[in-house]
Amino acid sequence: MTKNIGLWLDHKKAVIVIISDGDEQIQQIDSGIGKHVQYRGATRPRSPYSAQYQQGDDQLDNQFIEHLNKFYGRVIMQIRSADSILIFGPGEAKHELEKRLAREKVSAQIAGVETTDKMTDRQISAKVRIYFQDQPAAD
């Protein structure tokens, strides 16, 4: 029983397509990272002409990285059991996840990493089906 997984990924969400013995499942994981996140510790300025909330950039960066690490952890839990993994999507998230998979000794399962634009779930599913149809069977 071969389990192939296609993963479309950006910093906001992951769409996971699991193909196993002709059956196909689609799962979506949201990162929970919004555009404008109000974190604890942010202060409201007293001047009416200043920015709404002020917080150190390094603190925001650390909180963003912490959210991403939790998000990547949830994604890895879903794809760890795959025989072969195709990772694709826009931006840097796919390469960040690839590095994390290498640290967790899962990188041998990566069949490919590709750059794509935003895609619908149907487009993602079709790309994964076509990719694994064209791959030679593993011995």
* Average confidence (pLDDT) over 118-123: 95
Q: What is the pTM of this model?
A: 0.78
Please indicate, yes or no, if residue 16 is contained in any of the structural domains.
Answer: yes
pLDDT value of residue 139: 46
The CATH code of the domain that includes 72 is 3.30.420.60
Tell me which residue range forms the domain holding 68.
3-32+56-134
List the beta bridge partners of residue 20: 3, 23
Residue 92, in any domain of the structure: yes
Q: In percent, how much of the chain has pLDDT > 90?
A: 60
**Strand segments (E) across 31-90:** 84-89
Does the residue 88 lie in any domain?
yes
pLDDT of 126 over the 60 cut: yes
The pLDDT tens digits of the residues spanning 6-53 come to 999 999 999 999 999 889 999 999 998 865 455 555 555 566 665 555
- Residue corresponding to tokens 């796919």: 94
CA distance linking residue 29 with residue 9, whole number of Å: 10
